[in-house]
Amino acid sequence: MGKPMKLIASIDNQWGIGKNGKLLVNIPEDMQFFRQETYGNVVVMGRKTYESLPYSVSLDGRVNIVLSENKAFTLRDAIVCHSVDEVLAKVEEFPDKDVYVIGGESIYTQFLPYCNEAHLTRVDYEYDADVHFPDLDIDNNWEITAESDEKTYFDIIYKFVKYERK
């Protein structure tokens, strides 16, 4: 199967992850957690997620791999791959680094079979999302192995939840 990967996302009660190319909510501790987990490692994302990053610039301190079906799409500050198989081969070049799949919806779905951990920030609210993360609660291959206490940021209630493949 190759190198096992990890998923990382912030989701709402309906597994929503975004709306109109933006995250549903911005929680500083979630951003801090994301940076802490992914820094020094490899991040895999789709073109739309890359373009949604601040100033459309690669995440610093990480190897950025962007999956785009467009063969003409190139980036100066990231590795562009054009298929799941190409990404899977590319991540093998970084044996000393963890690989985090960071979105969006189709990327999470395509790479789910290659992942053995999911680090999710579960926000206790239902937003009007137009993209979603695969529902791991109904997938018998996954189980919750760790959960933080409930946290709050202004009126937002959330917790960090770790899922692992059984």
- What's the pLDDT tens digit per position in 65-119? 999 999 999 999 999 999 999 999 999 999 999 999 999 999 999 999 999 999 9
Q: What is the pLDDT of residue 1?
A: 58
From CA 150, how far away is CA 3, in angstroms rounded? 32
From 33, 37, 36, select the one nearest 5 (Cα to Cα).
Answer: 37
What length does the chain have?
166
Q: What is the rounded CA–CA span in Å between residue 113 and residue 37? A: 21
Domains of the chain are 37-113 (3.40.430.10), 116-166 (no CATH)
Per the CB < 8 A criterion, the answer to whether 158 and 30 are in contact is yes
pLDDT in the model for residue 54:
87
Q: Please compute the mean of the pLDDT values over residues 151-163 and round it to a whole number.
A: 98
Instruction: Note the helical H segments in 8-160.
Output: 28-38, 47-52, 84-91, 105-111
H-assigned helices in the chain = 28-38, 47-52, 84-91, 105-111
Q: How confident is the model at residue 3 (pLDDT cuts 50, 70, 90)?
A: confident
| pLDDT of 145 above 70 | yes
Residue 57 DSSP one-character state = -
Interstrand relation of 42-46 and 99-103 (parallel, antiparallel or unpaired) = parallel
